[in-house]
Amino acid sequence: MKIALIIENSQAAKSEIVHRALKTVAEPAGHSVSHYGMYGPDDDASLTYVMNGVLAGLLINSGAADFVVSGCGTGMGAMLALNAMPNVVCGLVIDPTDAFLFGQINDGNAISMPYAKGFGWAAELNLQDCYRKLFEIERGVGYPKERAAIMAKNRNIFSDVKAAATKDMLTVLKSIDQDLLKSAISGEKFSELFFANATNDALVSYVKTVLEV
């Protein structure tokens, strides 16, 4: 699985802590991790939680990522921004139980975490434990097991409803403020990572157009 990490500006100083914890768990489990920034508080490309949502939508819908790990101070803003995007199902994960239940019941493709609220002593251990509940075990199995079938049915219904309620990602990219979009995709390593992994030709083509302007 291709996992993308996106950190917003208010928590950029913790970027390496989060990145290291994610890689420690995900890579031994056979997943790849691509860090799309921010890498530190002084990065030229500053990402807001709204931009994180746009980036997550682009990465998921283009095939550049299968799963997005993001967050902000409380995790709420990033969760809302990611869930506004088509085909992105983002859960708020604060502790390992949240991670386990989101993976088993909702089986989404993104999480948002609080990197300020409650981020105290041994926070990196909590991060690793959360990631283990997501990336080391099979997701979507259901919990409790006797409700697995109805959970799977509800996930499919939710996907249909979300598809009906949202536009396709190319339409989203063309409709939002183009300066905002260009800022969101102007990170230091965005082009290197995105173009190496994206598989949706229409989205790739449009991103190239925006970057060239």
Which tokens hold the place of 181? 């979009």
Eight-class DSSP state of 103:
I
Cα dist from 47 to 12, 90, 154, whole Å? 9, 18, 33
CA distance 184 to 181: 5
Task: State CA 55 to chain mean position distance.
Answer: 8
Give the full edge-to-edge strand order of the sheet including 110-114.
32-35, 2-5, 67-72, 110-114, 90-92
pLDDT of residue 102: 98
Write down the mean pLDDT value for the chain: 97
Residue 171 banded pLDDT, cuts 50, 70, 90: very high
Contact 6, 55 (CB under 8 A): yes
pLDDT of residue 175: 98
CA distance 155 to 164: 14
Listed residue (88, 66, 72) closest to 7, CA to CA: 72
3-state class percentages of the chain: helix first, strand second, coil last, to nearest 5: 55, 10, 35
The per-residue pLDDT for range 57-90, each reduced to its tens digit, is 999 999 999 999 999 999 999 999 999 999 999 9
Look at domain 2-212 and name its CATH class.
alpha beta
Indicate the SS3 state at residue 177. coil
Q: Does position 176 have pLDDT exceeding 90, yes or no? A: yes
Q: Does position 213 have pLDDT exceeding 90, yes or no? A: no
Q: What is the mean pLDDT of residues 16-40?
A: 98
